[in-house]
Structure 1
Amino acid sequence: MTTNKTLLLCGFGGMLEFYDFIIYALLASILAEQFFPTGDAITSILATFATFALGYLVRPIGGFIFGHFGDVYGRKNTFMMTVLLMALSTLLIAFVPSYQQIGITGTLLLIILRIVQGLSIGGEIPGAITYISECVPKHQRGFTSGVIFFFLANGVTLGTLAHWWLSGLLSAESFHQWGWRLLFVIGGVLGFINYLLRKRIQESPVFENLTSSVRFPLSHVIRFRKRITFFGVLITGSGAAMITTYFLFIPGYLKIVLPSKPDGFLFASVVGCFTSTLIILLFGYLSDRFNRRWLISGSLLASILLALPIFNSWVSGDLWIPMLAGATLYGTIWGVIPSILPTLFDTEIRFSGVATCYNLGFALFAGLGPLICFYLIHITGLPDAPAYYLMVVCGAALVVALLSSVASKAQS
């Protein structure tokens, strides 16, 4: 199979992850009423995002499991398992009866399926990053990794477009009652198609030529690669925090700080998401030609300096400026991160190492991000409080990127 086709199949699985990622967030208010009816809108939304967080908190467990399989039994077989589980769990969410229909059982079924999604996704994206880095020449790893995340970011675009199209096609009542379920049907069907197509990919040539192995790769990562793993978790966490803060958190956030969402919000979201994908490709290309350590440091510094102005712009009712600014910053960071992570670990522990960094970063900083941001607003009364959360996370990542000797492994 050609490199282009392999890239397409790897990226498509990641696209479905981020499709589900944004769909769940965009449907937060509907899911809150359908599965978490508490009588208080904020409490229901918090419960919905707690379930969202749970799906991400179990991702490291999925990463540990599938990372082990990927390092011991091969990248391809693991790839097949993760996409099948992801497709099945996403499709089943569409058919879960609401709380009003079967009571707490409906809520528990949603939570269980979110856990299954989290476990499968825990191996999907780290597998794509690892597999592609081993299938292309060294001088193309940045751009090809950028292509993978181009697909991921376009999962957000696809999810936003699907939500926009369906909510416009159906009446508000129909979309609220049953139309939202079609969004999960779309994700599940696309997942099964990807599973069938993915059967055609070949095993990683680097893995096939491996002459030595580690019996328990995760144990090796934890015992002997602590500093490298900490660095990987922190830079991934900074990018994960930006995804949460600038995309997933905003729809619920605007309901609290503004009387109504700005006109054209969903369209602006689509444009913002697509803009970020182009920036990802550009910075993936640049990461093959310039020092990755300095590229990521510059992106983190810009994120710190612009966090408050972006949130103040949201609070003032602006639409396009904060949307495009957040998308650009998000794109600069995610154009570089996926080319850094595989360089941190040797082949025999690479899948486990990448999975640990990626999933812990997302679990801690994306999964908990909305809850932390809403809590900060609640206790401070400041509508721009989430900006401080982002500044702290990016600041910590910047310090490590600049001062840690470990970061030198990621330079090129």
Structure 2
Amino acid sequence: MGTVFEWYDFTIYVYLSKVMSDLFFPNNDQRVSFLLYFTVFILSYLIRPLGGILFGYIGDRYGRKKVLFITLLTMTVSTLFMGLIPTYQEIGVLAPLAILILRLAQGLSVGGEGIGATTLIIESCEKGKSFLTSIIWASSGVGILIASLVATSLFLIFDSNQMLTFGWRMILPRKPVHQH
């Protein structure tokens, strides 16, 4: 279940690209806004291996369950804060900087959660390891699908002005921490 939430949180950012690029990376040229926005996404994606290394070390030292709790908590807190931070219009350059920091935290979290959950299953299950580990990785697709459905639904319910003022915030801060 944790992987579903991790990938929901990680990919909802893509579905909000038009709205959030306007709010956090405003520019007269929409292409520049998108470029800056997706640069943050790419950086959060590229930091994932570092999350695997960092949380792999933590898992070896303190246990896999602790890693899963930390990664899910990190993802939840960073997603919650992303939904609460003021926009560029309100706090200037601190807004995109906050988005960058929170997205990097999400990238580290995603990098550690999948590897941590997989390792936990391999180390603790006698039978069905292959099936159970495949469920972990398949559930990432479920998280992506749910993010797509939620974003599409809100874009159908709210007009573009409503999405810019409050709709985008409804997508982000909405879930408790779940433990494996």
Q: Same fold (TM over 0.5)?
A: yes
Q: Name 2:135's counterpart in structure 1.
A: 147
Q: Name 1:120's counterpart in structure 2.
A: 109
Q: Name 2:40's counterpart in structure 1.
A: 51
Q: Give the letter for the 1:91 counterpart.
A: L
Q: CA deviation at 1:28?
A: 1.1
Q: Give the letter for the 2:55 counterpart.
A: F
Q: Give the letter for the 2:75 counterpart.
A: M
CA RMSD of aligned residues (A): 1.6
Q: Name 2:94's counterpart in structure 1.
A: 105
CA distance in 1 between counterparts of 2:47 and 2:140 reads 20
Gaps of 5+ in 2: none
User: Highest relative contact order (Cα 8 Å, sep 6+), 1 or 2?
Assistant: 2
Q: Name 1:81's counterpart in structure 2.
A: 70
Pairing partner for 1:68 from 51, 57, 65: 57
1:173 and 2:167 are equivalent in the alignment: no
Q: CA deviation at 1:90?
A: 0.7
Q: CA deviation at 1:174?
A: 0.5
Q: Name 1:37's counterpart in structure 2.
A: 26
CA deviation profile, 1:159-204 (whole Å, cap 9, x unmatched): 0111122222223321122201111112xx24x2x0xxx2xx6xxx
CA distance in 2 between counterparts of 1:80 and 1:21 reads 17
Q: Name 1:96's counterpart in structure 2.
A: 85
CA deviation profile, 1:278-328 (whole Å, cap 9, x unmatched): xxxxxxxxxxxxxxxxxxxxxxxxxxxxxxxxxxxxxxxxxxxxxxxxxxx
Q: CA deviation at 1:60?
A: 2.5
Q: Name 2:146's counterpart in structure 1.
A: 158
Q: CA deviation at 1:149?
A: 2.2
Q: Give the letter for the 2:57 counterpart.
A: H
Q: Name 2:123's counterpart in structure 1.
A: 134
Task: Give the number of equivalent residue pairs.
Answer: 180
Q: CA deviation at 1:133?
A: 2.0
CA distance in 2 between counterparts of 1:161 and 1:120 reads 23
3-state SS in 2 of match to 1:44:
helix
3-state SS in 2 of match to 1:134:
helix
CA distance in 2 between counterparts of 1:172 and 1:33 reads 11
CA distance in 1 between counterparts of 2:27 and 2:154 reads 27
CA distance in 1 between counterparts of 2:158 and 2:112 reads 36
3-state SS in 1 of match to 2:172:
helix
CA deviation profile, 1:234-284 (whole Å, cap 9, x unmatched): xxxxxxxxxxxxxxxxxxxxxxxxxxxxxxxxxxxxxxxxxxxxxxxxxxx
CA distance in 2 between counterparts of 1:27 and 1:80 reads 27
Q: Name 1:183's counterpart in structure 2.
A: 171
Q: CA deviation at 1:27?
A: 1.0
Which is greater in Rg? 1
Q: Give the letter for the 1:184 counterpart.
A: L
Q: CA deviation at 1:64?
A: 1.9
Contact 2:47/2:104 (CA < 8 Å) preserved in 1? yes
CA distance in 1 between counterparts of 2:10 and 2:62 reads 29
Gaps of 5+ in 1: 1-11, 202-412
